[in-house]
Structure 1
């Protein structure tokens, strides 16, 4: 996700038992927190497409001569364009802004973007912000102050009860509701005036906009204009009006947020990084941004996916989900499937799908993170179980390298002292004509537990653009995995002419991290990673 996998979702069985005991002790001292029983959720929906706005008029002017039903698309393939496109929608919105994310971080770039959101609200734009609740603790809890800005409504999806000073303590206090809290809203959409929208892999934060000090994400979004945006708005409305969406004032007061902020400032007062703000790009020129017009469909999980029936077992059964839909489209491939998934934990059923495709002669190429570039190392454990079988069935498997070789990976995250890269884009290109871009990983967590969203676009031009970007990474910045002919062990093969070497062990990863993951691997079930 990184998004970052939820702490609770990464627990092994042994960890869960240990934390359960701690939680019982904790609750004995703190009391049992709970969510409010009665919550007022006024229903609201997107504006009608016929409502006149400048952004809507811009779409109409740019659609002249375009086939009816087609929408316009542009790949958002850089950190600068990720920020500038969202800023453009914010600054040009006249009626509504709908913002839905798994994580919004309280850091310089996001605070600057939210400043523009507040300005939009001040000029009369109705702003709705829907945020998954898992990461809204500590400094990130301050994002909830947006709920108390005039003209802004904010709701938290599938919230955890308890105080927000510590994410770990809040998770511990919620272990009695473990099955619910591990299901997270992973959707990501940013919509202006029901006319233009953005979806893809990025959350909102410095690491997604290229300004984190330690590690930044390589990610991909897509800018959309036209009829498909109405489907994005309808999806937002379903989640916004769902019973799992709690208005922020029902969970915390403005005074409580102020107390949290003051406590954080006393403990540590991080300086405002004015260089980040100064380096942020200006708003994208939507009037002249090249668009590719094509037919498309929006795949969206239902909010009910996050509230399984009581006593229902989470299994790899057939479901009407985003991942199932994408797998069905992949099964129709005739020649080539190119997959980018930061966390790739296929599970037995998906392995059967891939084997059937290979049996029909379909070429399958997969780009995922190496252990050193993975921001969620335990997710790498589930993926590693399948590597040799994937290679044996003829899948071409590639792992992206972190950009800074000297930055050894530790079990607690990236070491300091520079910048590195972590793959975070989620894409599938089928036969060079059909492309999916969204929030989903090809793993059991995205299939069974998180809600996801993806745009499926039928366009050779857009597929070609994305394929070239992916193939450039394969040719210059990723290892291709092979099996040694002698002992059958894995070999990481660097591209010809690369400035990094082949490897026989997880490249650039510390011995300690490799040892810990080797020890914990057998205890970590695929669907929890």
Structure 2
């Protein structure tokens, strides 16, 4: 049989010029990916058993504990909340819920990264499964290639079920190959399940901006994300579970077994170059975690020797606030093949947030790592400013942004936002040798090592000091039009003021204030940083600044 042209080796001259050789290699890779694309497809018949959240949380200790705390509080509100702005607490609270669960754990994420931090979490999940807890994991498919494909092996373990949402056909050997092999369907590849939900026994949940991985728990030696979650108990946890069930039982959710075998996943396991160093002796002991520190302390706390994250925390020591709340969540149909038509027919979670923001009377404090407002949102901000509403925005600087293309979209609106009177703050990137090493939370034992950098990842809105929104969405057109998102709106002054106390110090000591002076942009250095004001994107390389100028005029907002 004749070999398909796409699989034949490219002819190589005896002594090719290095650049020409590399170019030919890339062409071969592109042709191969397109040939593979023509063969790859998703299974047409899938066994997808319907399952739902635990019907009666009061059958569990967690359910009874939540009810007891509500009774003790003497409140008519049916949901309790505690903010999580500390990387250590973000990890230990999830570990505590895993260890406390008796019946079910429902876990929904955009990304779960295979590393030492998540392996500790997987070990705890295996222990829970061993004592009979049913574990359902729903994961967006985009990041399940290369090393991260090893997460999928959980699907083949007892009491685990793992489904992939909106999977991409083709191999999982590398992210680059996956993207190349799906270029024929870029629109579908762009639509992702971005929800982040973690629910134990349908009684206590965690939601917010974090995915699962070392960079979200302050353990990376490179970039660590500054983020905010919220612990939620009672009726709102059951609302989150109902949302999970909608996605879990949707036709776009494919059991891993319908896409891969355990052997195929094992073959993708990366080869270790050398044996891993031995782990330090001794087991970290559970410890109580106090209230979350401010984001400013998160950014500027002095470095200490990094130690392992504790295994759990005493959630009863947290201050729980009982308050009215509403769940904002997109329908799974937003990600469907005809999503463009669906988007016109249904309101999205971002639409709901924008409607809420339009009712602001005095002030808005917005934290959005990727901020690309678009013309409609700009009109809304103009109306808010016309009514005298103070609007403050904290977003990433070009240097701290892990997705520079998103900064391109923000930068094209920056001067217009300043002209409206919106206060802009851009988070500084930690630079070794210029500012102190990044630590995730003052006094935390879960900090990162010297020289690591910080990138903003929290998605929070505080309105009129009485309404708080914590969720997975950014204020950009990708979250509005392409991703599915989830958020909780909480009406409570105490929680709103707590969130403000966490965020406001970061505006002065952890971020540059952007102003327009004599016709040009000026970045005012953070107080006490020892840095100087700048008239260009601070801390950003020349390459990044050139990227901003080159693609800025051409890239459409909805793709950034």
Same topology, TM > 0.5: yes
CA contact (8 A) 1:318 1:324 kept: no
**Which residue in the other structure is 1:274 paired with?**
279
- Find the structure with the greater CA-based Rg: 2
Q: Deviations over 1:398-444 (max 9, x none)?
A: 00101225589xxxxxxx98201000000000000000001000000
Q: Using the alignment, how far apart are the partners of 2:342 and 2:236 within structure 1?
A: 32
* 2:312 paired with 1:307: no
The aligned counterpart of 2:423 is 396
Could you say which residue in structure 2 is the equivalent of 1:174?
182
Counterpart secondary structure, 2:484: coil
Aligned to 1:43: 50
Stretch deviating more after TM superposition (488-497 or 221-230): 488-497
Q: Of 380, 384, 389, which aligns to 1:362?
A: 389
Matched, 1:477 2:510: yes
Q: Is the 8 A contact 2:102 2:133 kept in 1?
A: yes
Query: Which secondary structure state, in structure 1, belongs to the residue aligned with residue 317 of structure 2?
Result: coil
Q: Contact 1:108–1:272 (CA<8 Å) still a contact in 2? A: no
Q: Please give the residue correspondences for 1:72-83 in structure 2 after superposition, counting only pairs within 5 Å.
A: 72-83=80-91
**Structure 1: 5+ residue stretches without partners:** 1-18, 409-415
Distance in 2 (CA, whole Å) between partners of 1:30 and 1:434 is 48
Change (3 A) 1:407 1:513: farther
- SS of the residue 2:35 aligns to: helix
1:283 corresponds to 2:316? no
Displacement of 1:21 after TM fit? 11
Q: Distance in 1 between matches of 2:418 and 2:342?
A: 28
TM-superposed CA distance for 1:270, in Å, is 7.2
Question: Residues 350, 206 of structure 1: CA spacing in aligned structure 2 closer, same or farther, 3 A cutoff?
Answer: same
Q: Which residue of 2 aligns with 1:508?
A: 539
Task: Assess if the C-alpha contact under 8 Å between 2:36 and 2:170 holds in 1.
Answer: no
The answer for the alignment partner of 1:265 in structure 2 is 271
Measured in 2, the distance between the counterparts of 1:96 and 1:270 equals 36
Structural RMSD (CA): 2.2
The answer to whether the Cα contact below 8 Å between 2:77 and 2:322 also exists between their aligned partners in 1 is no
Q: Secondary structure at the match of 1:385?
A: helix
Look up the SS of the partner of 2:207 in the other structure.
strand
Which residue of structure 2 aligns with residue 489 of structure 1? 520
Contact 1:66 1:293 in 2 (8 A): no
Residue number in structure 1 paired with 2:412: 385
Quote the Cα distance in structure 2 between the aligned partners of 1:360 and 1:252.
Answer: 56
Cα separation, 1, equivalents of 2:522 and 2:250: 48
Can you list the C-alpha shifts for 1:332-371, whole angstroms capped at 9, x where unaligned? 1100000000000000000001001000000000000001
**In structure 2, C-alpha distance between the alignment counterparts of 1:462 and 1:491, rounded to whole Å:** 34
C-alpha separation in 1, matches of 2:513 and 2:149 = 41
Task: Give the number of equivalent residue pairs.
Answer: 497
CA contact (8 A) 2:164 2:253 kept: yes
Give, in whole Å, the separation in 2 of the partners of 1:349 and 1:175: 29
C-alpha separation between the residues in 1 aligned to 2:275 and 2:249? 37
Q: How does 1:82-481 map to 2 (within 5 A)?
A: 82-261=90-269, 264-265=270-271, 268=273, 271=276, 274=279, 279-309=308-338, 312=340, 319-404=346-431, 406=433, 418-481=451-514
Q: Distance in 2 between matches of 1:497 and 1:123?
A: 52
Q: For 1:49-60, list aligned pairs within 5 A.
A: 49=56, 51-60=58-67
> Is contact 2:57-2:201 (8 Å) kept?
no
Select the residue among 533, 542, 551 that pairs with 1:520: 551
